[in-house]
Amino acid sequence: GSGSTFQMISVIFRKLTMDRVKAEGGSDERAMREAATDTAAALGFISAIGAIGGFFIPKAFGSSLALTGSPVGAMKVFLIFYIACVVITWAVYGRHSKK
């Protein structure tokens, strides 16, 4: 569930920040302080996106039902959005670079 995602984000951000700060010659104390700040910022942003989704999805269904009497309009919008997300994810992370 989402709880495990939040736990993974904390672990990943802490590891990445610790590695970066140590590579720059920083202390463990500085690394932990920066890791806490980076993790808090990321989790805050992710929580805000989740809150928007928690509002937008029911609102979209309600609007679709009010305007057309059917949830099909909202489903079409979600389908287009998800297809766009897949395409963007593939473009950024999925392509094999030519070397």
- Domain at 55, CATH number: 1.20.1250.20
- Count of domains forming the chain: 1
Q: What is the pLDDT of residues 27-65, one digit of tens each?
A: 889 988 988 898 888 889 988 888 888 899 999 999 999
Buried b (16+ CB within 10 A) or exposed e, 58-82: eebeeebeeeeeeeebbeeeeeeee
Top-confidence residue, 19 or 97: 19
Tell me, yes or no, whether 77 lies in a domain.
yes
User: Residue 86: which domain range?
Assistant: 2-94
Tell me, yes or no, whether 50 lies in a domain.
yes
